[in-house]
């Protein structure tokens, strides 16, 4: 059932790429489906001096990239959009924002609710949050929620500093840190699948699981994001956040938990049990790579990309073995892998069971694959067979009919923000544990010079990624 929500959105960075490519199309979908109707307004802010009309035109232009023939609805929708030019350091501008938000709240009867969305560079997050507080933008009789995009720091120290700045202005319960993988239907379905399939859940532990593999592979290179990528690399860009959160969905206890606090505590406990890595273990358990041209020289090597240093040592591929020290998972390797310029786009979890599962009436060495990307409606494979054709009575797919029309990640996350549902956001304690773990790898890597480039574009990464598993007698389920 659709319940209309009311709020004033203040989008810092309202002229930027994220706002136009992700936020406005998602807000439009919510408008079309009735979650947003009469009682909302969007204030876009950025440095440029735009009029409301011009801002609305930019919004409509970006919507046309995603929707056809709906110009009248777009126009109606755009009447809820207003623009306020704004410099993050100028206190006067916050007063103007406050007054505009109050006026629009009266006009649209938005219930004094505010969503402050940071679609700007992270270096501004602290300044903006502090000004929202000090200039009195927060309302007393509605909610005030702060939404933050990744990257959330580049290591534990910078994440602590960033968090220190925003938490002076907003309590943790009002901070919504977006990891868009947590908005994906299939990631949200992982606990549901576990909760609804007792036998599967019973088998998800070190007695029955041989290893778990999480792959987030892309076939494209860095495209026009070389400048950003040079400050990140795949370890920070994909592993610290998305891969860890996917592991959280498959490996934390009690998938039947409904309360956000319990769910987060379970995830925090899991990340708190990550097995520490010595520098030598980083060498044996983690592989890094950087793409070269392809064999035909059709594709650029990473070092030839725009805004990338000719001698860059940033990794575009990583594979690793993550281990936990807890009753449930000790001894089970979680192999992770993410890279650019791999043969295909593929986001998947492969759970490889051992031969003890025969005790549960399941065929020895069964592999269950959960596909995370919604490329079609085949979401679960067992032993490589589409589940729907498989006779095995192991797991069933939840709400299958809903899956095809599932919401986009941002759309689903915005509904959560408007509903005050914090289940699908990242808490500070989770970040602290995952950054601590990632920092140990990064520090070791930064102390050594890699031999890059070391994999050909369009391949499965460096050979060392295969050897990592072979050493344990395992192999990647997804292989070219």
Establish whether 269 is an annotated binding residue: no
Q: Would you say 290 and 302 are in contact if contact means Cβ atoms under 8 Å apart?
A: yes
How many other β-carbons are positioned within 10 Å of the β-carbon of residue 212?
A: 22
Establish whether 103 is an annotated binding residue: no
- 119 scored as a contact of ligand NAD (CB under 6 A): yes
- 13 scored as a contact of ligand NAD (CB under 6 A): yes
- 110 scored as a contact of ligand NAD (CB under 6 A): no
CB-based contacts of 84, cutoff 8 Å, min separation 6: 43, 44, 45, 93, 96, 97, 100
Establish whether 47 is an annotated binding residue: yes
- 149 scored as a contact of ligand NAD (CB under 6 A): yes
Q: To the nearest whole angstrom, how small is the minimum distance from the Cβ of residue 433 to ligand NAD?
A: 22
Nearest to ligand NAD of 49, 473 (CB atom): 49
Establish whether 378 is an annotated binding residue: no
Nearest to ligand NAD of 136, 227 (CB atom): 227
Nearest to ligand NAD of 237, 439 (CB atom): 237
Q: Which pair of structure tokens corresponds to residue 194?
A: 């576990």
Establish whether 157 is an annotated binding residue: no
Strand partners, 291: 455
Residue closest to ligand NAD, measured at CB: 16
Q: Strands 346-353, 367-371: parallel, antiparallel or unpaired by DSSP?
A: antiparallel
How many other β-carbons are positioned within 10 Å of the β-carbon of residue 392?
A: 14
Q: Where are the beta strands (DSSP E) in 86-188?
A: 114-118, 144-148, 175-177
- 87 scored as a contact of ligand NAD (CB under 6 A): yes
H or E segment and range at residue 470: helix 464-470
- 121 scored as a contact of ligand NAD (CB under 6 A): yes
CB-based contacts of 178, cutoff 8 Å, min separation 6: 147, 148, 149, 150, 413, 425, 426
- 62 scored as a contact of ligand NAD (CB under 6 A): no
Q: Would you say 117 and 23 are in contact if contact means Cβ atoms under 8 Å apart?
A: yes
Q: To the nearest whole angstrom, how small is the minimum distance from the Cβ of residue 151 to ligand NAD?
A: 6
The verdict on whether 242 is a catalytic residue reads: yes
Using the CB atoms, write b or e for 283-316: b if 16+ within 10 Å. Answer: eebbbbbbbbbeeeeebbbbbebeebeeebbbbb
Binding residue (CB under 6 A) for ligand NAD from 6, 8, 9, 15: 15
Considering only residues 162 to 221 of the shown chain, the ones binding ligand NAD according to CB under 6 A are: none
- 150 scored as a contact of ligand NAD (CB under 6 A): yes
Q: Which pair of structure tokens corresponds to residue 331?
A: 């001894």
CB-based contacts of 307, cutoff 8 Å, min separation 6: 226, 227, 230
Q: What's CA 214's distance to the chain center, in Å?
A: 14
Binding residue (CB under 6 A) for ligand NAD from 5, 29, 80, 86: 86
Establish whether 174 is an annotated binding residue: no
How many other β-carbons are positioned within 10 Å of the β-carbon of residue 374?
A: 18
Q: Which of 80, 112, 131, 242 is catalytic?
A: 242
- 122 scored as a contact of ligand NAD (CB under 6 A): yes
How many other β-carbons are positioned within 10 Å of the β-carbon of residue 156?
A: 18
Q: To the nearest whole angstrom, how small is the minimum distance from the Cβ of residue 47 to ligand NAD?
A: 5
Establish whether 300 is an annotated binding residue: no
Nearest to ligand NAD of 146, 277 (CB atom): 146
Catalytic residues: 242
Binding site for substrate: residue ranges?
180, 184, 218, 237, 340, 345
Binding site: residue ranges?
47, 87-88, 150, 180, 184, 218, 237, 340, 345
- What residue ranges bind ligand NAD (CB under 6 A)? 13-18, 21, 46-47, 86-88, 119-122, 149-151
């Amino acid at each position: 059932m659709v319940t209309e929500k009311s709020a004033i959105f203040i989008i810092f960075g309202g002229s930027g790429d994220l706002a136009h490519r992700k936020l406005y199309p998602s807000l439009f979908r919510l408008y079309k489906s009735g979650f947003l109707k009469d009682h909302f307004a969007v204030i876009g802010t950025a440095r440029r001096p735009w009029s409301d009309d011009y801002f609305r035109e930019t919004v409509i232009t970006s919507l046309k990239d995603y929707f056809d023939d709906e110009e009248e609805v777009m126009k109606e929708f755009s009447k809820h959009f207003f623009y306020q030019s704004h410099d993050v350091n100028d206190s006067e501008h916050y007063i103007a924002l406050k007054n505009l938000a109050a006026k629009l709240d009266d006009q649209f009867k938005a219930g004094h609710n505010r969503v402050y969305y940071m679609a700007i560079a992270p270096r501004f997050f602290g300044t903006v949050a502090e000004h929202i507080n000090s200039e009195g933008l927060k309302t007393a009789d509605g909610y005030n929620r702060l939404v933050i995009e990744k990257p959330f720091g580049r290591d534990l120290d910078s994440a602590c500093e960033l968090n220190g700045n925003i938490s002076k202005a907003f309590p943790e319960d009002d901070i919504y840190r977006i990891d868009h993988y947590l908005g994906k239907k299939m990631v949200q379905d992982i606990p549901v699948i576990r909760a609804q399939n007792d036998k599967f859940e019973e088998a998800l532990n070190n007695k029955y699981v041989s290893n778990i593999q999480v792959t987030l592979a892309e076939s494209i290179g860095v495209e026009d994001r070389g400048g950003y990528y040079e400050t990140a690399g795949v370890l920070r860009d994909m592993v610290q956040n998305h891969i860890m959160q996917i592991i959280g969905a498959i490996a934390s206890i009690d998938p039947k938990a409904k309360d956000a606090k319990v769910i987060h505590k379970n995830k925090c406990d899991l990340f708190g049990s990550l097995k520490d890595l010595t520098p030598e273990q980083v060498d044996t358990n983690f592989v890094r790579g950087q793409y070269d041209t392809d064999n035909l020289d059709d594709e650029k090597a990473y070092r030839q990309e725009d805004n990338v240093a000719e001698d860059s040592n940033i990794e575009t591929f990583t594979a690793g073995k993550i281990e936990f020290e807890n009753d449930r998972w000790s001894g089970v390797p979680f192999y992770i892998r993410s890279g650019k310029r791999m043969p295909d786009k593929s986001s998947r979890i492969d759970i490889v069971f051992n031969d003890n599962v025969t005790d549960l009436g399941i065929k020895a060495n069964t592999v269950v694959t959960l596909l995370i990307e919604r490329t079609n409606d085949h979401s679960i494979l067992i032993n490589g067979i589409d589940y729907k054709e498989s006779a095995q009575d192991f797991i069933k797919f939840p709400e299958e009919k809903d899956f095809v029309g599932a919401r986009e990640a941002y759309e689903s996350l915005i509904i959560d923000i408007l509903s005050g549902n914090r289940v699908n956001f990242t808490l500070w304690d989770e970040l602290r544990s995952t950054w601590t773990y990632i920092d140990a790898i990064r520090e070791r890597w930064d102390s050594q010079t890699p031999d890059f480039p070391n994999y050909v574009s369009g391949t499965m990464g460096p050979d060392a990624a295969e050897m990592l598993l072979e050493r344990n007698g395992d192999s990647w389920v997804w292989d070219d």
